[in-house]
C-alpha cells in the first residue's frame, strides 16, 4: 500500500514538472510582447521595436535637502 502511494506521488511530481514549461513573455492586449514589439494599426499586426512613449515616464529629480521628520524638535542654542 505504501509503495503504491509513493509511486503515485512520484508520477504526480514528474507530471507537474513536465507541464511547467518555460514562462511565457508578458503580452499586451493586442498580443505583442511588452518592450519588444509594437502594434501597427496600418498592417494590423505586431512589429519589432519599442514604443515611442517607452522612456517618457515623468520622474522627479531627488531633492537635495530632505525635510525634517514630523515631530522632530529643534534645540535652540542660547
Is residue 27 within 8 Å of 33, Cβ to Cβ?
yes
In this prediction, what percent of the chain has a pLDDT beyond 90?
4
- Band (pLDDT 50/70/90 cuts) for residue 42 is very high
Give 32's contacts (C-beta < 8 A, 6+ positions apart): 38, 39, 46
Q: Kindly state whether residue 18 falls inside one of the protein's structural domains.
A: no
Could you report the per-residue pLDDT of 18-39, keeping only the tens digit for each? 665 566 778 888 888 888 888 8
How far apart CA 46 and CA 28 sit, in angstroms, is: 10
Of the candidates 11, 38, 13, the residue with the CA atom closest to the CA atom of residue 27: 38
Predicted confidence band at 69 (pLDDT cuts at 50, 70, 90)? Answer: low
In a domain, 63, yes or no: no
Nearest to 44, CA basis, from 24, 30, 62, 28 = 30
Q: Between these two residues, 53 and 47, which has the higher pLDDT value?
A: 47
Domain ranges, residue 34: 25-50
Number of domains into which the chain is organized: 1
Amino acid at each position: 500500500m505504501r509503495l503504491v502511494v509513493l509511486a503515485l506521488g512520484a508520477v504526480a511530481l514528474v507530471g507537474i514538472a513536465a507541464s511547467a514549461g518555460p514562462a511565457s513573455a508578458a503580452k499586451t492586449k493586442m498580443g505583442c510582447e511588452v518592450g519588444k514589439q509594437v502594434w501597427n494599426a496600418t498592417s494590423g499586426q505586431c512589429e519589432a521595436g519599442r514604443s515611442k512613449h517607452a522612456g517618457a515616464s515623468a520622474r522627479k529629480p531627488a531633492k537635495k535637502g530632505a525635510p525634517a521628520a514630523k515631530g522632530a524638535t529643534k534645540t535652540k542654542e542660547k
